[in-house]
Chains A and B, each alone.
Chain A
Amino acid sequence: MIVLADVISSTIVFAVPLLLVAMGGMFSERSGIINIALEGIMIIGALMGCLMMRWLDPLVMNGQLGPQLAMLIATLFAGACGVVFSVLLAFASINLKADQTIGGTALNMLAPALAIVLTWVVQGQGQTTILIPTWSRITEANFGLTLEKGSFIQALLFKNFYLTTILTVVLFAAAVILMYKTKFGLRLRSCGEHPQAAASVGINVFKMRYAGVLISGFLGGIGGLAFTLAAGSGFQSSVAGYGFLALAVMIFGNWKPWSILGASLFFALFKVIGAYASSIPFMPKFKELEGVSSYLWPMLPYIITMILLVLTSKKSRAPKAEGIPYDKGMR
């Protein structure tokens, strides 16, 4: 039973960054810009969020600042830095009409290197890990509850509970409403399908595409921090390819919020099953092989995604104008 609780709570905590980042990708791509730089945006968000937590740590320890308020500041800071970083992509691909994939790739290379250099600057030579303070987690004490450590409820609710999880629920709801229930959402989507037609009815395609990329920067930055919290071992200038996985989740989710929610939960579940395979009773153990837990099971989510992408490819429909720089004169 305790394994079940662990699996469920870990699934949620790993689905959170995937969901956030894939939603970010969705906003960008529905506005017509391929955002392959999500990985880099995540790294920048995680870096800045972790640095902010580090700076706020003394205040929290002194009791001058509530831990969850500090987390909120760090999270918003991560999102804001993601926005700033994504401006680079927006500028290159919208103003300069550069190749979006190349620009994104450059940002993906820039982010980890910048993160390492900044970590050195802040922490001193050769210090490559930024540790996450223990107060980042929401515990039962925050609600005035006392639960037995290791009980089912405790493991289910409070083992991996962060402010980002709550925030994700709010942001997801906001994103769905923004995308489908507002004028802004309709305009954004039209720019990803046929920007010239959108422009002909007075929509500013440049502005809409900027909005799409910047929203993806915000969500990507928060997603990066959420991933670092979920991974748990501190920030080491990497988000382990999660930005690319989020892209796969977005495609698998067919550029639609609810499908993306399902896809990210599904993917996270397989990741966690892989991680917990040795403690789940009915899973095969492969005792004669070495490296099963570090290399065989972690392969599972990638293979499953691959198969699913192939199987669902018939239904997959990308925004029609994504990846094409907007040219007013084109028909």
Chain B
Amino acid sequence: MKKGLISVLSSVISILIGLIFGLLLLLAVNPAQAFPKFGEMLVAGFSSSAKFAKVLYQAAPLIMTGLSVAFAFKTGLFNIGASGQYTVGAFCALACGIIFQMPWWVCLLASIVAGAIWGFFPGLFKSLFNVNEVITSIMFNWIGMMLVNLLCMNLKNAAGKNVMLPTAWVSSPIKDRTAALSYANPKAMIPKMGLDKLLDSNFMNISIFIAIIVAVIMWVILNRTTFGYELKACGFNKNASIYAGINAKRNIVLSMVIAGALAGLGGGIYYLAGTAEYTIQKLLLPMGFNGISVALLATSNPIGTIFSALFISYIQVGGESLQPVFAKEMIDIIIAVIIYLSAFALLTKTVISRFVHLDKSNVNAEPALTVSPKTDEKPTLKESEGEKA
């Protein structure tokens, strides 16, 4: 059995156990409503084209933050700072659109650059001073969020009005969120290309395709280029990669820069949809943290990220239908249980492969050593199998 299939199977098992746990919790809280609401939650994402559009709309930034975390994981780094990179990326995209009146693709480039800068510092501190990137990126989450809030509140145009807020554009008392792109700069909205009419939802635009293309590019970089190979080598064993002549310090910084750029782009595509405004609040945005779930569920595979982001987005849309009887945080519990189970994915995988290969006792044998009996080719290390070990 292919290792990829086993990974998928172990994720599916985690998901099933997580859902069962969620059902039990619903039963414990309110037995009468548990089954109907749980059923409603499971089908909500497909119940109407508008709901489905919302699944896709939320999946796009999730894919990006998931890729961000997954890419860093491949280099042995834990990018818990996706939230801050996402926020900074969102701000720069919006600022580019609202203040400088740029078209949408320039705004997206701005979000990439901003996210990359926010990922650069944790990477730099890790490689130069060996400061734990988890701590640094948590600090940068808070610094980024507060800085963005400050800028939103204080950037003024020539007339002395807060240019990021609605007050500069229309007469509006709202002071806690940025101006809507629909009147500030419609050009900065990501094109819909008729998808909104197709699914009958204003949420729909091409961002999901952008995200999928980026995911494929990331897969190619990681699996088909020397650069990707070097990054993964650093993740497996830093000392061995240094011994092999790989510049580990440079790769750590680059990996974090790319991870930051991905999360920043996520912020860009979410807020340039024109359906949500950045709200000034004291909490870190959850999108970056959900990216961690996405990456873990996908076992850091860029292609897997697409599916796990769709899944997480799907049950989150389903979670809205749990309200008001249950808190929508029930969904977060389900996701947390799934992630907890996938933490010992290795164990699950071993159990599955034992179950499947009852005849072969040693499932942990090196894949490189298995010689195909029919051909007399030399045994070669299959990269795609080696990486999942």
Residues on A close to B: CB < 8 A? 36, 88, 92, 96-99, 101-103, 105-107, 109-110, 112-114, 116-117, 120-121, 125-126, 238, 241, 244, 247-248, 251, 289-291, 294-296, 298-299, 302-303, 305-306, 309-310, 313-314, 316
Contacts and interface: CB of A to CB of B under 8 A. Distances in A.
Nearest to B175: A290
B154 A290 contact: yes
B340 to A, nearest CB: 4
B125 A109 contact: no
29 contacts: A36-B134, A92-B340, A96-B344, A96-B347, A97-B344, A98-B343, A98-B344, A102-B343, A105-B296, A105-B339, A109-B335, A112-B332, A117-B25, A117-B29, A117-B326, A120-B326, A120-B327, A121-B29, A125-B325, A247-B135, A247-B138, A289-B154, A291-B150, A294-B282, A302-B139, A305-B139, A310-B131, A313-B125, A313-B131
B147 interface: yes
B346 interface: yes
Interface of B: 25, 29, 78, 80, 125, 129-132, 134-136, 138-140, 142-143, 146-147, 149-150, 153-154, 280, 282-284, 289, 292-293, 296, 324-327, 329-333, 335-337, 339-340, 342-344, 346-347
Please report whether the interface of chain A is mostly helix, strand, loop or mixed according to DSSP.
helix
A88 B337 CA distance: 11
A248 B327 CA distance: 32
A113 B333 contact: yes
B324 A98 contact: no
Contacts of B280: 291
A275 B130 CA distance: 31
A109 B336 contact: yes
A291 B146 CA distance: 9
Contact of A313 (B130, B293, B331, B342): B130
Nearest to B324: A125
A109 B154 CA distance: 33
A248 B344 contact: no
B150 A116 contact: no
B128 to A, nearest CB: 8
A310 B143 contact: no
Contacts of A291: 149-150, 153-154, 280
Contact of B343 (A92, A112, A302): A92
A308 to B, nearest CB: 10
A107 B139 contact: no
A117 B340 contact: no
Contact of A306 (B80, B139, B284): B139
B134 A101 contact: yes
Given A98-B346, A248-B138, A295 B149 contact: yes
Contacts of B340: 88, 92, 103, 106-107, 110
B348 to A, nearest CB: 10
A302 B145 CA distance: 12
A98 B347 CA distance: 8
Contacts of B154: 289-291
Contacts of B284: 241
A130 to B, nearest CB: 14
A117 B339 contact: no
Contact of A109 (B130, B327, B332): B332
Nearest to A290: B153
A298 B144 CA distance: 12
Contacts of B333: 110, 113-114, 117
B136 A306 contact: yes
Contacts of A303: 139, 143
Contacts of B149: 291, 294-295
A107 B335 CA distance: 11
Contacts of B147: 295, 299
Contacts of B143: 299, 302-303, 306
Contacts of A113: 329-333, 336
Nearest to A119: B327
Nearest to B149: A295
Given A98-B346, A113-B333, A241-B284, 9 more contacts: A103-B340, A105-B296, A106-B336, A106-B343, A112-B329, A116-B329, A121-B29, A302-B139, A313-B125
Which residue of A92, A121, A299 has the most chain B CB atoms within 10 A of its CB atom?
A299
Which of A96, A106, A302 has the most C-beta atoms of chain B within 10 angstroms of its own C-beta? A106
A25 to B, nearest CB: 11
A289 B329 contact: no
A25 B88 CA distance: 30
A94 to B, nearest CB: 11
